[in-house]
Amino acid sequence: MSDPIEALPPLREVIAQHDLAARKALGQNFLLDLNLTRKIARAAMPWAADTVIEIGPGPGGLTRALLLEGAPRVIAVERDERCIAALQPLMAAAGGRLIVHPGDALETEFATLAPPPWQVVANLPYNIATPLILNWVAHAEQFSRITVLVQKEVAERLAAKPGGKTYGRLSVAAQWRCSVRMLFDIGPKAFVPPPKVTSTLVELQPRVRPLAEADLHKLERVTAAAFNQRRKMLRAALKPLWADADARLQSAGIDPTRRAETLSIEEFCALARLL
Ligand code: SAM
């Protein structure tokens, strides 16, 4: 027997019925092709936790796919009231497996939605993707997996290895706590309306323990100072942290003439431990 979700009207009809003209301020670029959203859902599997949290379900394309691919329970956080109304038939068809939580994802404590660990799957509103991800990776131990569609440029920064221009604070923060993989790209034409840039599905798999010992805030202070002046040698870039930056770097076994983008995450952690 077919799933009642498959009997729902096509997403284009849902959008027309609820007058869901995309709002740029809310980063609304909708995915309407169920084959594609099911591909995203399958890439997020296996379902590692009882609860999948989706940020920004919009008209529900990815939400339908998550449910059809067997996610045990989906809690979808959405701030656009028009979308919340449009999701009601999907909630009814999901038979209790979908909860829509009205609110701002930036201000929603996931612990008020469900106990950890949380699995996140989302086509993120691009304007808030970076702060959301930074907040999640800072508490990576509470997540079973994070699989999100972001601008390709953000995915590249998340996954960057030392030595290139894309390697920076975001790379260190993410990879210190998670292993990061770029899964596949999705071109602008797949979205309504099409964004200007290519998107990439990225997976952040929390590590059992951080890559090296460090205090998060100290690590952030070191990477902020180092990458704020990324073209300078570290002995100059780290002066705001230590008047004797040269000696500190040498005590950590790091050549003071190196630049931030050449340092491994373990080396940044060694510097954070000196703070
Ligand atoms: N998941 C849908 C899809 O794939 O078609 C929509 C994705 S669209 C890129 C981003 C969604 O996030 C929109 O539905 C938008 O209303 C919602 N959104 C934007 N800012 C938000 C916020 N601060 N908190 C929760 N949802 C937000």
Kindly give the number of the ligand 1 atom that is closest to the alpha carbon of 29. Answer: 9
Q: Residue 2: pLDDT band by 50, 70, 90 thresholds?
A: confident
Q: Which two tokens stand for residue 221?
A: 């202070």
pLDDT at residue 259 greater than cutoff 60: yes
pLDDT at residue 95 greater than cutoff 90: yes
The whole-angstrom distance between residue 128's C-alpha and the CA centroid of its chain comes to 9
Fold of 4-206: Rossmann fold (3.40.50)
The residue ranges of every structural domain in the chain are 4-206, 216-272
> Cα(55) to centroid of ligand 1, in Å?
6
Supply the pTM of this predicted model: 0.96
H helix and E strand count, the chain: 12, 9
**190 CB under 6 A from ligand 1?**
no
**83 CB under 6 A from ligand 1?**
yes
Whole-angstrom CA distances from 91 to 8, 11, 59 are 11, 14, 12
pLDDT at residue 248 greater than cutoff 80: yes
Whole-angstrom distance, CA of residue 46 vs CA of residue 60 = 21
pLDDT for residue 158: 98
The strand pairing partners of 77, in sequence order, are 55, 101
Instruction: Please write the tens of the pLDDT for every residue from 122-159.
Output: 999 999 999 999 999 999 999 999 999 999 999 999 99
**60 CB under 6 A from ligand 1?**
no
Residue whose CA lies nearest to ligand 1 atom number 19 = 26
Chain-wide mean pLDDT for the chain? 96
pLDDT for residue 49: 74
Whole-angstrom distance, CA of residue 116 vs CA of residue 146 = 13
> Which residue type, as a one-letter code, is found at position 162?
P
Biggest alpha carbon–alpha carbon distance for the chain: 72
Whole-angstrom CA distances from 212 to 150, 181, 260 are 27, 19, 18
The correct CATH number of 216-272 out of 3.40.50.2300, 3.40.50.2000, 1.10.8.100, 3.20.20.70 is: 1.10.8.100
pLDDT-above-90 percentage for the chain: 97
pLDDT for residue 1: 53
pLDDT for residue 43: 98
Whole-angstrom distance, CA of residue 168 vs CA of residue 261 = 7
pLDDT for residue 50: 77
